[in-house]
Structure 1
Amino acid sequence: MIHPGPLGEIGGGDLPRRVALSAEGIGFPPHATAGHDFNLVSETEVDCVLDAADRALAGATFRRDGTVPVSIEAGESSMLAQRFGDAGLAVSTFAPGSADDVDFAVGQSARAEFRTDGLEDVLLVDGHNCHAGLSGAGPDLGHVTPGSKRSYDLYDAAGTAGEAAAEADRGRTELGVAWDPTEWTPEEGIGPLGVRVAVTRVAGVEAAYVLIDGNNMVPGLRGDLLSAVREATGVDHVEVMTTDNHVVNRTRADNRVGEEIDADALCETVRSLAVDARDDLEPVAVAGGTERTTVTVFGNDRTETLATQANAALSLGAALAAAVTLFAMSVSVLLFFLT
């Protein structure tokens, strides 16, 4: 699990686009449960991740059966989950509460809770879909860390969702997809992947998964998007995710989906794509796989060191600016009296 940061195209900042481009069809690269400590140190490291994904695909066994989707709530945590063959998909969120990245260790523990009946391959997605902004998120910025109440809520939700998915009705899996790159720009909070929607149908029960190429969302927008999809399609379950693509943070640390673009326009785009994806439903075979690879990431020490150096640079910059200003004023005063 890798985090798409730190900013712009630096390191793994453009990881979602690279992953999507490597797919033969329409790629859906959601946000994993990892924070900035798991930023790749260079763009070349992305190739290692993509190679591992190719190996997982080559060794995967495709199956046509799946389970109906289940929605679970535990404390502040909500989860939409399905099983496809021998693989599981679980999308988590703490909305309407404000939350940011889920710690790597928390995600690993939640995946373990979800596994039942020997299920090995679980894609646990951090919905990353509601944040109050840097000024309103509190001292921890909404991070979900080990030992926090939210971490235990997530464990409970994952365990319950895993059991419910294992016991859910099975049927033939159908899938439909739709994509619009949109005309919005990274400066407006939307990355190059635009908006993508996937709709599944198993045993007559439908779920819509909406993926927006951005870094989190303003509070309330997720709810509007869920309502828009339900009203347009009548699907039984809906969840909205962002990729956490940091190309939208080239010049701004806080550039959430919905800050710069019109919410109604985004709702209309998502509504239209959901209808198209539902119309695209057809029987498919699905597989999951897990591969490991070695990459170099920032790590906890590097992240803290980078932050310390940045703060030191800012402090020196302020002192230097003051010195330059004082020098300029002194020269001006001398010139005034001497001329």
Structure 2
Amino acid sequence: RAKNNECRLVLPDVHPGPFHPIGGSNITYLIYKNLNSSAMVMHSVSDHSLNLPSKSQVDLYLSSLQKSSKTQQGFKCTKPVTVQVNKARTVGMLFDKTAVLILSLSPHGMEDVPSYVKTELEQYGKNRGFERVLIVDSHNAMGEVIQKNDADDLLNAAKSNLDTLITKETLKLEVGYSNSEFLKINADDLGPGKIAVMCMKIGNEKFFLGWADANNMHNGLREHIANYFSKNGYSLLEVCTSDTHYKARQARNKHGYFEFGSLSKFDDAAEWFLQLAKETERNISPASFDLLEQETKVKVMGDKQFDDYSKSLDRAMRITQGFLIGTTIFFFYTLF
């Protein structure tokens, strides 16, 4: 393996939070560092009921990442498919029998994708012969609780995406990855993981996926970055955030935090990502992938405790709810 080109796309069932610096508020960066700073820690279909409430539970979860089991491996995937239904957009790829779907309402925004969307899509995929459907909440535009019509549009776009993926040819995969450590970015609207870019060359086309260790994104930033990429001849699939609840400093605003793009200038952010894309492009190599899964039993906050905790930060918290947490990792590595 060529270690400089390893990349992991991580989809944890835990949700960042509850509040900085408590519990799993910085869990995304801890996963990132645990995986040699070569990971994109995505936001799964989850909410604050799945917060890790203490350091001991965070440590238990992190230790379980070393005990993952390989459930799939391969060398090929489909080219990405993008489906738009009204505000809803889905980007999908098929790795053997595993589909990866990235959901977004950007630039309109939304809060966490409701769990029934995941449940229905997993069943839909199973009925059509997929072994699994992995769903990423891109979390890339600020918004309110998702409305039923928007959730239905996400479902319809995702189902159409799955139907299209079945018909697509699978091709050999090349991968490049770069984190932003060399850029020395100093931005208080980013978590300590900063940003990263992965490039996938499939057939004769290159596709770029951006990631930010951030608590959501300012509306329109994703589109600004995508347009900047397009002007420079690059194809940006999506920019996703980790939804970290880390805070570099206190935010005296209605949200209580700084979303990415609220402090960083749009042009600066777009240029950071483009520089990473160019660096990533230089690192492209023929690649394989492993699908790794792990489960661990940890204690999470649950709905009621998060509601109570939100109302009274100084209230003693009782940890009572046990939960079996799963984590899925796509591990891309270069081949000799």
Which residue matches 2:141? 130
* Correspondence 1:251 to 2:250: yes
Q: How far, CA to CA, are the matches of 2:25 and 2:211 in structure 1?
A: 17
Deviation digits for residues 169-208 of structure 1 (CA, Å, limit 9, x no counterpart): 211011111111354456x211111110001122223321
Q: How far, CA to CA, are the matches of 1:27 and 1:102 in structure 2?
A: 22
CA contact (8 A) 2:214 2:259 kept: yes
Which residue matches 1:229? 229
Which residue matches 1:63? 74
Q: How far, CA to CA, are the matches of 1:152 and 1:249 in structure 2?
A: 36
CA contact (8 A) 2:121 2:133 kept: no
Segments of structure 2 that go 5 or more residues without pairing to the other structure are: 1-12, 316-336
Q: CA RMSD for the aligned pairs? A: 2.4
Deviation digits for residues 6-39 of structure 1 (CA, Å, limit 9, x no counterpart): 2223111111111112224611111111121211
Deviation digits for residues 96-121 of structure 1 (CA, Å, limit 9, x no counterpart): 21212223343333343345653233
Question: Residue 219 of structure 2 aligns to a residue in which SS?
Answer: coil
Q: How far, CA to CA, are the matches of 2:132 and 2:52 in structure 1?
A: 23
Q: How far, CA to CA, are the matches of 1:91 and 1:215 in structure 2?
A: 17
Amino acid at match of 2:104: T
Which residue matches 1:308? 311
Q: How far, CA to CA, are the matches of 1:297 and 1:249 in structure 2?
A: 25
Amino acid at match of 1:109: E
Q: How far, CA to CA, are the matches of 1:185 and 1:248 in structure 2?
A: 13
Q: What's the offset of the Cα at 1:164?
A: 1.4
Deviation digits for residues 138-178 of structure 1 (CA, Å, limit 9, x no counterpart): xxxx2237xx1222112112211112122112110111111
CA contact (8 A) 1:184 1:190 kept: no
* Correspondence 1:22 to 2:21: no
* Correspondence 1:2 to 2:14: yes
Q: What's the offset of the Cα at 1:307?
A: 2.6
Q: What's the offset of the Cα at 1:244?
A: 0.7
Matched pairs, number: 299
CA contact (8 A) 1:233 1:275 kept: no
CA gap 1:302/1:213 in 2 versus in 1, 3 angstroms? same
Deviation digits for residues 31-63 of structure 1 (CA, Å, limit 9, x no counterpart): 11112121111133234434544443x323321
CA gap 1:55/1:159 in 2 versus in 1, 3 angstroms? farther
* Correspondence 1:162 to 2:162: yes
Q: What's the offset of the Cα at 1:311?
A: 10
Q: How far, CA to CA, are the matches of 2:265 and 2:92 in structure 1?
A: 30
Question: Residue 246 of structure 2 aligns to a residue in which SS?
Answer: helix
Choose from 88, 93, 112 the match for 2:99: 88
Which residue matches 2:290? 287
Deviation digits for residues 206-252 of structure 1 (CA, Å, limit 9, x no counterpart): 321100111111111111111122233433x5211111111137633
Q: How far, CA to CA, are the matches of 1:112 and 1:50 in structure 2?
A: 29
How does the TM-score come out when normalised to structure 2?
0.81
Q: How far, CA to CA, are the matches of 2:248 and 2:124 in structure 1?
A: 33
Q: How far, CA to CA, are the matches of 2:31 and 2:264 in structure 1?
A: 25
CA contact (8 A) 2:212 2:240 kept: yes
Q: How far, CA to CA, are the matches of 2:126 and 2:299 in structure 1?
A: 28
How many percent of aligned residue pairs carry the same amino acid?
A: 21
Which residue matches 1:320? none
Which residue matches 1:134? none
Q: Is the deviation greater in 259-268 or in 119-128?
A: 119-128
CA contact (8 A) 1:121 1:289 kept: no
Amino acid at match of 1:159: K
- The structure in which a higher percent of residues are strand is 2
CA contact (8 A) 1:185 1:192 kept: no
Question: Residue 3 of structure 1 aligns to a residue in which SS?
Answer: coil
Which residue matches 2:172? 172
Which residue matches 1:336? none
Deviation digits for residues 267-292 of structure 1 (CA, Å, limit 9, x no counterpart): 11111111221222211111224433
Segments of structure 1 that go 5 or more residues without pairing to the other structure are: 132-136, 313-339
How does the TM-score come out when normalised to structure 1?
0.80
Mark the structure with the bigger radius of gyration.
Answer: 1
CA contact (8 A) 1:232 1:275 kept: no
CA contact (8 A) 1:113 1:158 kept: no
Q: How far, CA to CA, are the matches of 2:305 and 2:265 in structure 1?
A: 37
- The structure in which a higher percent of residues are helix is 1
Q: How far, CA to CA, are the matches of 2:104 and 2:287 in structure 1?
A: 27
CA contact (8 A) 1:169 1:203 kept: no
Q: How far, CA to CA, are the matches of 1:221 and 1:87 in structure 2?
A: 30
* Correspondence 1:276 to 2:272: no
Which residue matches 1:144? 146
Question: Residue 144 of structure 1 aligns to a residue in which SS?
Answer: coil
CA contact (8 A) 1:116 1:162 kept: no
Which residue matches 1:118? 129
- Residues 67-82 of structure 1 aligned to structure 2 (within 5 Å): 67-82=78-93
